[in-house]
Structure 1
Amino acid sequence: MSFGSEHYLCSSSSYRKVFGDGSRLSARLSGAGGAGGFRSQSLSRSNVASSAACSSASSLGLGLAYRRPPASEGLDLSQAAARTNEYKIIRTNEKEQLQGLNDRFAVFIEKVHQLETQNRALEAELAALRQRHAEPSRVGELFQRELRDLRAQLEEASSARAQALLERDGLAEEVQRLRARCEEESRGREGAERALKAQQRDVDGATLARLDLEKKVESLLDELAFVRQVHDEEVAELLATLQASSQAAAEVDVAVAKPDLTSALREIRAQYESLAAKNLQSAEEWYKSKFANLNEQAARSTEAIRASREEIHEYRRQLQARTIEIEGLRGANESLERQILELEERIGQLENDLRNTKSEMARHLREYQDLLNVKMALDIEIAAYRKLLEGEETRFSTSGNVFFHISGGQKSKIKVSLGPLILQRPWRRILPCQFHLWIAPGLPGLWQHHSKVCLHLHMAFFPVSLCLESPSPFFFS
């Protein structure tokens, strides 16, 4: 760095009091620049105090003009040449130090690029972790929705199973009732069949009795006809005998007493006719009464047979109706048994579905637990990354005041604005940082050319803008 000729007149002893020799300043600057992050440090609080003491004799402000010593204290040219050589040596040392600092700045810039690359890689990894962290939530939502559907299906299946059990119980009771009724009807049918058999035996007996009576009637009629024929023959014989006897008697009595024999024959004939009529009438009455009794018995038997036939017909009709009803009940029973089998199969299927659903639910719960474990591990890893990044951020975002004490009495204020601290993390803010440099006018390396100088330094982790404002013109070279 070069310096104006009017500044060479400042005493080296006062400069050493404020800053020390070049090696001490170089060591302090090297210590300030060699930190892991950019940190503004005060060089020395004792130097600040001595700088304030030294600058009390000079006017305040950033002007680089100095007060000339009085004429009685003039320096000879040899001392001025010695100071000039000393300042040249210091200037050479400072150039070397600045070159070293520039080399270190280049190293820091390269490190910044490496850190940016690492930040981009970490950002991509974080995006992947976030995506993996978001996927379990979607899987959990799908699992919860499917679980709700399965629970609804399970409730429907349980309600259907309960309804089927109620229907099965009702149908079983109906089947029991129908079976009892069927057994009762079977017993009634057996009783009707027994009664029918008994009535059939009675009907058979009545039929046999009727046939016997009919045979008796026929035999009696034949006997009556035979008796009539015999009677007629006897009557004819008697008449013939009477006629013969009457003729003989007439022939006998013709001579004796013809009128008396004729009257006697008429009387005998009348008596025989009345006797034959009485016998015939009594026989007819007996036969008529017998025939009436037989007809009455036949009518009663016919009525009984008709009633029995009607009863048999009624029993047959009832038996047919009961048979049809039994067949219908058997069909209904078979249908109900088939329904019971179908319901049992459906219940078994629903139970299998329930077991499968429970196993599927257990599998989903295990998967969800695994995803939850993965999520917890990712959260722990993210928290570890966050702690590391917060530590780096804390190390990067420090700020402070740096004081450069310059021999010569005045000090200049340099406002140093740190550019935004850009961290490649979306959840952190961009933190601006500022600090101030107080530079006395006796610092080597100042030239009287400009009233405002802005020096941009690219540090290790963020850009630095140094803006120097001074009432007197100077700049950094």
Structure 2
Amino acid sequence: MSSYTSDSAVTSIYRRYFGEPTKYRASYEMPGYKVSAAGYGTRSVSVGSTLGVPVGSFRRTHSRYSSMSIPATSDMIDLSQAESLGNELKSIRTQEKDQLQDLNDRFAGFIERVHHLEQQNKVLEAEALILRQKEMRPSNIKQLYEQEIRDLRALAEECKSEYNSAKGGRDQMEGALGALRAKHDEERRRREESEGALDEVRKAADEAAVQRVALEQKVGSLLDEIAFLKKVQQEEIADLQAQIQSAHITVEMSVARPDLTSALRDIRAQYEVLAAKNMQSAEEWFKTKFTVLSENANRNTEAVHVAREEVSEYRRHVQNKTLESEAIKDMIESLEKQIQDLDERHQKELEPLQELIPELEKELQSTKNEMSRYLRDYQDLLNVKMALEREIAAYRLVYE
């Protein structure tokens, strides 16, 4: 408040002794607008029209106080007061000069900032134009990526259908394999049954062979017994004949030779009949036993022959079943190997596709993120541009 009062007093004294100071007018011309200001003295500032020049030129003209009229009366002011008044006026002019210089410097800084902001605005407009062009182009890239993704999905579906078909073929092969395994189990069961029957036939053949050996031994013993009986019979006949001859000789010697010829013939005939009966009965018994044994031997031989034929048939059957079983095993191993090869091949074909799908999804997500970042940058640049335009409009209003 005190400074304002002193300034007013100084101004009134200045006006009392030196009159009204010459008004000045400062004009500032810029491309698109012009700023002018009026004050004491004369000030002129011109700015070049080319952007990038900080300040074109400053021209300042100080008009001196054209006339100073001092009253002639010595009773109004003395020389010391005039000197002090002159010093005050000099200080006032110095302050005014400093203030004007500071204002000119500030205005030059504003002009430079406006030029810098205009250049930055042009750069932002160029970047915004580039971003608009980029924003128009990504639609094609998006279509290309979508087409690529569709192609990959179609390829994945095709691989999936092939996998399903291969899986169906594998299921069919597994069904056929199950049927072959069931058939193999059935044939193995039959083989075991055949081997069991073969073992029974072998046991029967062994028993028949044992019986045959026993019968052969029995036939041998019977033949030996028949031979022994024949030998005993012959010895008995020889003894009887010897006894008859000795008795005949004794009778002839001791008796007066009665007629014993007929008696001896009768005895001899009786012994011969008895021997013939014994021989016939023995031969009949032997023939009967031999016939029975022969029939048993023939039956056992036929049974052994049949058993041998059955064994041979079972052996051929077992060999055939063994060959079929081996063939089925080979077929099963081949089918299992084919199934494993198909699984490995499809797994190898699916692995790069499964690895490619996350990469493409990641690349698509990266592209979307990049597009979002471009859009955010574009929006930020638009916001900066609008803020700069508002600031430039505010500066224009201030300048005008």
Equivalent residue letter for 1:192: S
User: What is the TM-score with the length of structure 2 in the denominator?
Assistant: 0.58
SS in 1 for 2:260: helix
Deviation per residue, 1:35-72 (Å, 9 max, x gap):
839xxxxxxxxxxxxxxxxxxxxxxxxxxxxxxxxxxx
Counting only pairs closer than 5 Å after superposition, residues 347-362 of structure 1 correspond to structure 2 as 349=348, 352-353=351-352, 355-362=354-361
1:133–1:378 contact (8 Å) kept in structure 2: no
C-alpha distance in 1 between matches for 2:120 and 2:363: 38
* Cα distance in 1 between the residues matched to 2:270 and 2:335: 94
C-alpha deviation, 1:223, in angstroms: 0.9
The 1:199/1:35 distance shift into structure 2, 3 A limit, reads closer
Equivalent-residue separation in structure 1 for 2:150 and 2:242 (angstroms)? 131
Q: What whole-Å deviation, never above 9, does each CA across 1:93-124 have from its counterpart, x for those lacking one?
A: xxxxxxxxxxx9x966x57xx9xx99998998
Secondary structure, counterpart of 1:287 in structure 2:
helix
Q: Is the 8 A contact 1:171 1:336 kept in 2?
A: yes
Cα 1:148/1:251, change in 2 over 3 Å: farther
Q: Which residue of 1 aligns with 2:389?
A: none
Equivalent residue of 1:209, what SS?
Answer: helix
How far apart are the structure 2 equivalents of 1:121 and 1:358? 41
Instruction: Report the Cα offset of residue 154 of structure 1.
Output: 0.8
Q: Read off the aligned partner of 2:328 and give its amino acid letter.
A: L
Structure of higher RCO (CA pairs closer than 8 Å, 6+ residues apart):
1
User: Paired residue for 1:318?
Assistant: 317
Question: Contact between 1:192 and 1:315, CA under 8 Å: does it hold in 2?
Answer: yes
- 2:259 corresponds to 1:263: no
Structure 2's unaligned 5+ residue stretches are 1-28, 34-45, 52-114, 387-400
CA 1:149–1:247 in 2, change beyond 3 Å: closer, same or farther? farther
Q: Partner amino acid for 1:36?
A: G
Structure 1 Cα separation of the partners of residues 30 and 171 of structure 2: 92
Match of 1:183 in 2: 185
Contact 2:128 2:382 in 1 (8 A): no
- 2:203 alignment counterpart: 201
1:328: which partner in 2? 327
Structure 1 CA distance for aligned equivalents of residues 343 and 201 of structure 2: 50
Q: Is the CA contact 1:203–1:305 (under 8 Å) kept in the aligned structure 2?
A: yes
Over the matched positions of the two proteins, sequence identity in percent amounts to 41
| 1:256 aligned counterpart, secondary structure | coil
Q: How many residues align?
A: 288
Write the deviation string for residues 140-162 of structure 1: whole angstroms up to 9, x where unpaired: 45534432432232122211221
- Corresponding residue number in structure 2 for 1:246: 248
**TM-score in terms of structure 1 length:** 0.50
Q: How does 1:41-440 map to 2 (within 5 A)?
A: 129=131, 132=134, 136=138, 139-140=141-142, 142-251=144-253, 255-257=256-258, 260-346=259-345, 349=348, 352-353=351-352, 355-373=354-372, 376=375
Q: CA RMSD of the aligned region, Å?
A: 4.3
What is the distance in 2 between the residues matched to 1:250 and 1:127?
179
Alignment of 1:448-463 (within 5 A): none
What is the deviation of 1:186? 2.9
What is the CA-CA distance between 1:301 and the residue it aligns to? 0.9
Please say if residues 136 and 371 of structure 1, whose CA atoms lie closer than 8 Å, have aligned partners that are also in contact: no
Aligned AA for 1:245?
A
Query: Residues 217 and 291 of structure 1 are in contact (CA less than 8 Å); yes or no, is this contact kept in structure 2?
Result: yes
Residues 212 and 300 in structure 2, CA contact (< 8 A), matched pair in contact too = yes
State the alpha-carbon separation in 1 of the partners of residues 186 and 146 from structure 2: 59
CA distance in 1, matches of 2:121, 2:130: 14
Using the alignment, how far apart are the partners of 1:122 and 1:363 within structure 2? 32
Inter-partner Cα distance in structure 2 for 1:284 and 1:307: 33
Structure 2 CA distance for aligned equivalents of residues 337 and 230 of structure 1: 84
